[in-house]
Chain A
Amino acid sequence: RPVKPRAADSEAWELAPLELLEPARFALEMYNRGRAAGKRAMLGAVRGRVRRAGEGSLYSLEATLEETPCNDPTVCQLPVSKKTLLCSFEILDELGKHILLRRDCGPVDTKVTDNRNWTLNSFLPLLNKDSFPQDFSVKMTSVFKEFVTTYNRTYDSKEETQWRLTVFARNMVRAQKIQALDRGTAQYGVTKFSDLTEEEFHTIYLNPLLREKHSKMHPATSVNDP
């Protein structure tokens, strides 16, 4: 199969919500396969990227799925709480045919043992609720003030400060999700980059050129000596 020029092929693009719909629906369908009608999960937020090569596209999706653990209202204890899962899917779309290559789902709820001052334990319930608890903004404002002092941040206006607080709060939830999905011993939380949006962080600090194939050099000889 002829392959398009590399520049058009290899780049991984952040997708608009509409473009995600088809692969996300397919992922959900695969997740729900074999489940009774009342036990099927529903799609929450989705984001993802696509990498195109030739006539194929590989979608990497990150999605939240909502599951209702009890589907019989006559025996369920009310209110029935939803279970939120964070899933990663890799879906290959080749000539319109979808293939699920990878699926990793886990509940967005985990125990975190960070004894430092900036522990996120108090924000854990956020991940399983549709709205923030009432004292959320008070707690978050306090953590944000500590962040501003520690990292000597100054903002141009009150509006900018308010915006950064909002970004910071969102980031705390993101950090908690990342924490929940880490299988090592790493701890995630407040860092000097906590007031930057994901896009700002990527633009300022990261290096998209690394996704390009680097020029081949001689292979190093193996090290065999004891």
Chain B
Amino acid sequence: APPEWDWRKKGAVTKVKDQGMCGSCWAFSVTGNVEGQWFLKEGTLLSLSEQELLDCDKMDKACLGGLPSSAYMAIKSLGGLETEDDYKYLGHMEACNFSEEKVKVYINDSVDLSQNEQKLAAWLAKKGPISVAINAFGMQFYRHGIARPLRPLCSPWFIDHAVLIVGYGNRSDIPFWAIKNSWGTDWGEEGYYYLHRGSGACGVNTMATSAVVN
């Protein structure tokens, strides 16, 4: 992997979104990944609809939570994703209003990524932002800097939040992952969370996945 990488600087990442009072992080993590994959294949950055997943992905539970792996399957079986503008985010489940004619993006497949963080970094630099799930310990009060909670407090067994890795690097020799969250820009570092890289902090390496666009 290159020593550092940031997909934000390459135009592959949409602005930070806000899931509101709804446990829909899984949808934001997945759309963020698909936005990146589409950008890398087609050269166009489109902001994609999380609400479509809340309403139409019947394998997941909208605001009560979901799994990225099921969301990829739902996107495949629905036929793709509409844009944010065409299918706006409401932050609560509504009847499915999906329209095939409005689909702007499709995916062909989805893959599980390595748990080795060096390999994850290499994959990210070449292939795009990665959907991951983490233990959100401490994030309620996180303001800035690189988080590295003690492992027992932030165990990989208690994964409860899905986010998007958009880059990595070092700050004063401390390796970090740059993580796009979905709690608005008035949280963290303009909506981003920086987590220690290389130590499996908060289970960041346990559920790394991506969509595949051919």
Q: Indicate whether A and B interact.
A: yes
Contacts of A219 in B (CB 8 A): 111-114
Can you name the residue of chain A whose Cβ is closest to the Cβ of B199?
A183
Q: Are B69 and A178 in contact (CB under 8 A)?
A: no
Q: Are A210 and B161 in contact (CB under 8 A)?
A: yes
Q: How far is the CA of A219 from the CA of B186 in the complex (A)?
A: 36
Q: Are B153 and A214 in contact (CB under 8 A)?
A: no
Contacts of A205 in B (CB 8 A): 19, 21, 23, 25, 161, 183
Q: How far is the CA of A13 from the CA of B67 in the complex (A)?
A: 20
Q: How far is the CA of A192 from the CA of B136 in the complex (A)?
A: 15
Contacts of B146 in A (CB 8 A): 184-186
Please report whether the interface of chain A is mostly helix, strand, loop or mixed according to DSSP. mixed
Chain A min CB distance to B141 (Å): 4
Chain A min CB distance to B122 (Å): 5
Q: Does A220 contact B (CB under 8 A)?
A: yes
Q: How far is the CA of A175 from the CA of B150 in the complex (A)?
A: 14
Q: Does B70 contact A (CB under 8 A)?
A: yes
Q: How far is the CA of A225 from the CA of B123 in the complex (A)?
A: 10
Q: How large is the interface on B (under 10, 10 to 19, 20 to 34, 35 or more residues)?
A: 35 or more
The one of B109, B110, B159 that contacts A210, using a Cβ cutoff of 8 Å = B159
Q: How far is the CA of A160 from the CA of B113 in the complex (A)?
A: 46
Q: Does B126 contact A (CB under 8 A)?
A: yes
The one of B137, B150, B161, B183 that contacts A207, using a Cβ cutoff of 8 Å = B161
Please report whether the interface of chain B is mostly helix, strand, loop or mixed according to DSSP. mixed
Q: How far is the CA of A222 from the CA of B119 in the complex (A)?
A: 7
The one of B69, B114, B151, B194 that contacts A214, using a Cβ cutoff of 8 Å = B69
Chain A min CB distance to B48 (Å): 19
Q: How far is the CA of A208 from the CA of B160 in the complex (A)?
A: 5
Contacts of B119 in A (CB 8 A): 222-223
Contacts of B25 in A (CB 8 A): 205-207
Contacts of B66 in A (CB 8 A): 207, 209
Contacts of A196 in B (CB 8 A): 140
Q: How far is the CA of A143 from the CA of B110 in the complex (A)?
A: 47
Q: Are B141 and A206 in contact (CB under 8 A)?
A: no
Q: Does A155 contact B (CB under 8 A)?
A: no
Can you name the residue of chain B whose Cβ is closest to the Cβ of A198?
B140
Which residues, 150 to 197 on B, are CB-close (under 8 Å) to A? 150-153, 155, 157-162, 171-172, 174, 183-184, 186-187, 194, 196
Chain B min CB distance to A27 (Å): 11
Q: Are B153 and A62 in contact (CB under 8 A)?
A: yes
Contacts of A90 in B (CB 8 A): 152, 155
Q: Are A211 and B158 in contact (CB under 8 A)?
A: yes
Q: Does A84 contact B (CB under 8 A)?
A: no
Contacts of A174 in B (CB 8 A): 141
Which residues, 182 to 226 on A, are CB-close (under 8 Å) to B? 182-194, 196, 198, 201-212, 214-220, 222-223, 225
Contacts of A178 in B (CB 8 A): 137-138, 141, 149, 153
Chain A min CB distance to B56 (Å): 17
Q: Are A192 and B186 in contact (CB under 8 A)?
A: yes
Contact with B along A32-54 (1 / 0, CB 8 A): 00000000000000000101000
Q: How far is the CA of A76 from the CA of B25 in the complex (A)?
A: 54
Contact (A225, B126) CB under 8 Å given A191-B141, A191-B143, A209-B61: yes
Q: Which 10 A-B pairs have the closest CB atoms?
A: A184-B148, A88-B152, A209-B65, A214-B69, A207-B65, A175-B141, A220-B111, A186-B147, A186-B145, A185-B145
Interface residues of chain B, those whose CB is within 8 Å of chain A, are 19, 21-23, 25-26, 60-61, 64-70, 72-73, 109-114, 119, 122-123, 125-127, 133, 136-138, 140-153, 155, 157-162, 171-172, 174, 183-184, 186-187, 194, 196, 207, 209-210
Complex A-B: 10 CB contacts under 8 Å: A60-B155, A60-B157, A104-B152, A178-B149, A186-B147, A188-B141, A206-B161, A209-B61, A215-B69, A218-B109
